[in-house]
Amino acid sequence: MAGTGNFSMNIICIGAGYVGGPTMAMIAAKCPQYKVTVVDINADRIAAWNSDKLPIYEPGLDEVVKSALGRNLFFSTKIAEAIDEAKVIFVSVNTPTKTFGEGAGKAADLQYWEKTARDIIKASNSDKIIVEKSTLPVRTAHAMERILNANDKGIHFEVLSNPEFLAEGTAVEDLKKPDRVLIGSQLTEKGLAARQVLVDIYANWVPKENILTSNVWSAELSKLVANAFLAQRISSINSISQLCECTEANVSEVAKAIGMDSRIGPRFLNASVGFGGSCFKKDILNLVYICEGYGLHDVARYWESVVAMNEFQKKRFVRNMIRVMFNTIAGKRIALFGFAFKADTGDTRESPAIDVTMQLAAEHANVVITDPQALDNAAKDLQGCGDCTKYVTFENNPYEAAKGAHALAIMTEWNEYKTLDYERIYKSMEKPAFIFDGRNILDHQRLYEIGFNVYPLGKECWKHF
Ligand code: NAD
Ligand code: UGA
């Protein structure tokens, strides 16, 4: 077995993305006694982790990485070498929705996952603990164990499930003080021993009562169910936002009123143009696919409706814009404020802004996109969308984006959009000037007083005609 040098244990993570990078940086920062190496096939990403400009924007992450980089935290492309040295191997590769073959559009694409399993077998010369960090279909650990333990080297691999619950934009705080860390294992002697190794790693900074253990299948399934429940709350309040618009009820007041019921709770009740992010949709569709596989079609339909409501909300937002702007937006300049799927991240995966932009471009509106962190990703997302090439431009400065626009649409709840000089913006726009607040973050009455026609979500509009 390879040595650990001055460190008490070698831990590695395969996959240096939004989860692998921050999670491992936190372990390294909190546990200087371990050597933590993060490996990836993407050499550019690894180079960025080793540079001054990290590959992802996440508040507070620079400091955490800096505190450990080169001391006990390393980013590398030498995957086989790292595997050979490691006792504990986290696997945090991407598990997107399958786009081809059986289960296309719903099932998880496990090709990256299985490839790592084969890399692990090839490079290993000693027993290892494999930790599923990626979000996976329930019972994947079973398949993983069968693949790994079919090796002819006499090596034993124990597979644990340790799903990640961090949210982007708050990843550092979520990792520092997680609501819970969930560790699923087999309930065999070897399974329980492996589980204890992982419990001991987290116990370096997470209170024992927040470290939850379960069987492997419960841990795997809990991750999918947590995301499904969170997304369901958003779809629920978004469905009510439309009813509010018809009845003069105010969705924020309704959310506050129901959220004060301690059984419901106040969080994840902000009506929006729709939820985005790389995981909610993919994980619910994966849950739907699994249910269908067990013949649970009614259960599948129930969860599928959460995604359907989200798709509807994005469409409804644009339809409303068209209706309000006199049933035509062709040739009108529309500034989208924000493109990231939420504030404090540059991530745009599944951002509702993508769909909104495509719909607006299909109507031949001239869309100008501004965002403090996500413009590079936005340009990549819209590449190859025919209408977008012709009708979409990008602008760093929101004041420039708004100049000459007929309408602004708030897509992302960036704090800086709350404090812009809207009088200046109003003066620079075409009249009548419209604001569609897809996040309900602005002071609607004040905007109205400036002269805007204001269309929030789930609330009465403020209009001058
Ligand atoms: P990501 O795409 O940002 O990162 C995955 C990384 O894995 C990429 O850099 C890719 O190059 C690398 N990779 C793929 N195959 C590889 C291989 N064979 N060897 C080495 N590296 C390989 O993905 P992410 O957002 O970090 O998500 C990873 C997993 O965590 C997913 O299953 C996701 O569902 C889950 N998750 C994500 C979040 C989130 O906030 N993004 C939160 C919780 C859970
Ligand atoms: C989500 C979960 O919150 C994490 O626990 C989970 O680990 C992660 O998915 C994952 O598995 O990837 P994330 O997608 O990063 O995290 O961000 P969220 O804060 O959950 O927001 C998701 C989307 O819902 C965003 O578009 C956000 O704007 C939207 N949202 C959120 C609303 O529209 N309304 C709300 O009240 C809350």
pLDDT in 10s for each residue of the chain, 465 residues: 445 678 999 999 999 999 999 999 999 999 999 999 999 999 999 999 999 999 999 999 999 999 999 999 999 999 999 999 999 999 999 999 999 999 999 999 999 999 999 999 999 999 999 999 999 999 999 889 999 999 899 999 999 999 999 999 999 999 999 999 999 999 999 999 999 999 999 999 999 999 999 999 999 999 999 999 999 999 999 999 999 999 999 999 999 999 999 999 999 999 999 999 999 999 999 999 999 999 999 999 999 999 999 999 999 999 999 999 999 999 999 999 999 999 999 999 999 999 999 999 999 999 999 999 999 999 999 998 889 989 999 999 999 999 999 999 999 999 999 999 999 999 999 999 999 999 999 999 999 999 999 999 999 999 998
List phi, psi (to 5°) of 264: -95, -50
Residue type, 60: G
The DSSP 8-state label assigned to residue 458 in this structure reads S
Element of type H or E holding 59: none
Could you tell me the residue ranges of all domains in the chain? Answer: 9-206, 224-307
Residues 6 or more apart in contact with residue 405 via CB below 8 angstroms: 333, 334, 335, 368, 429, 430, 433
Same fold: 9-206 with 224-307: no
Ligand 1 — pocket residues by CB below 6 A? 14-20, 40-42, 45, 79, 92-95, 112, 115-116, 134-135, 164, 166, 168, 278-279
Superfamily of domain 224-307: N-(1-d-carboxylethyl)-l-norvaline Dehydrogenase; domain 2 (1.10.1040.10)
User: Residue 225: nearest ligand to its CA?
Assistant: 2
Could you name the CATH architecture of 9-206?
3-Layer(aba) Sandwich (3.40)
- Residue 5: the pLDDT is 74
| Rounded-to-integer distance, Cα 113 and Cα 95, Å | 7
**Residue 168 CA, ligand 2 centroid: distance in Å:** 8
**Residue 249 CA, ligand 1 centroid: distance in Å:** 41
The reply to whether ligand 2 has any atom less than 6 angstroms from the CB of 234 is yes
Residues tagged active-site: 279
| Rounded-to-integer distance, Cα 112 and Cα 373, Å | 28
Maximum distance among all alpha carbons in the chain? Answer: 78
| Rounded-to-integer distance, Cα 410 and Cα 414, Å | 9
3-class DSSP assignment, residue 159:
strand
**Residue 19 CA, ligand 2 centroid: distance in Å:** 14
Q: Choose the residue to mutate in 280, 283, 351, 356 for probing ligand 2, maximizing ligand atoms within 8 Å of C-beta.
A: 280
Element of type H or E holding 34: strand 34-39
How many residues in total does the chain contain?
465
- Residue 1: the pLDDT is 41
**Residue 269 CA, ligand 2 centroid: distance in Å:** 11
